[in-house]
Amino acid sequence: MILTLIQPDIIWENPSANMEAYTRMFNRIENQVDVILLPELFSTGFTMQSRDLAEPMEGTTMKWMSAQASHLRCDLAGSLIIMENGNYYNRLIWMRQDGSYGYYDKRHLFRMSGENEHYSHGSKPLIVEVKGFRIKPLVCYDLRFPVWSRNRQDYDILIYLANWPAPRRDVWLALLKARAIENQAYLIGVNRVGKDGIGIEYLGDTMALDAKGQIIASIEPGKPGLQTINLSLEKLKAFRKKFPVWKDADLFTLPD
């Protein structure tokens, strides 16, 4: 399966400008891909102005995602601010080229920035399937919670779409590696660069790791860019068969 990872410098609280910028970046993708991944809150940056910037599910950004997925003939994923039934969500959308979609509402809200005061948390994970790969997409702070990220033999690729700040870069790198190893899955972390509207700096470190925790592709830190990768399901299955750690895994039960 072929995926393109997008590492942008998000324009603060300006969805239309960001969508124009992403469209230009998409034009740089040279060959057909199966999936394009954008970071967390790709249209606004990590803002707490949820009430002012939220869109309905039939809003402009959703329509743009659908149009881009159809035009590029691939799946397109990223999170944005959605208002639904009086609640505001940091909602990851997995848009398919036929206009259908799945979604995941970020479960772990970053209380140190007050995210839990401006958004409602989700409770249901999402698994999507593309080209035989089972994919579990999560959002940013979810990375710190291994039980929520746990592979119950239900996914082959674990994805984190993030706005992860530069001061905690070492944590990002360490946890991406750990989640890949402990779950025996491909791991993809997609992050932004630049400074946001409140002066927080981001270095990106967008990358893909294999099930051994080895980096197999990355985008240069601190610079906007994109990277296309090709993942092999056969190699992953062969490694799991040769080294079946999953057979000795503990069971966990999560509360709602």
Catalytic residues: 40, 106, 140
- Secondary structure percentages of the chain, helix, strand, coil, to 5: 30, 30, 45
Phi, psi of 188 (to 5 degrees): -125, 125
CB 140 within 8 A of CB 160: yes
Residue (of 113, 111, 135, 138) closest to 124 by Cα position: 138
Q: Measured between alpha carbons, how far is residue 156 from residues 129, 184, 208, 232, 237 in Å?
A: 10, 8, 13, 10, 9
Residue (of 161, 225, 208, 206) closest to 1 by Cα position: 208
Q: Write the DSSP symbol of residue 218.
A: E
Quick one: angle between helices 15-26 and 60-72, nearest 10?
A: 10
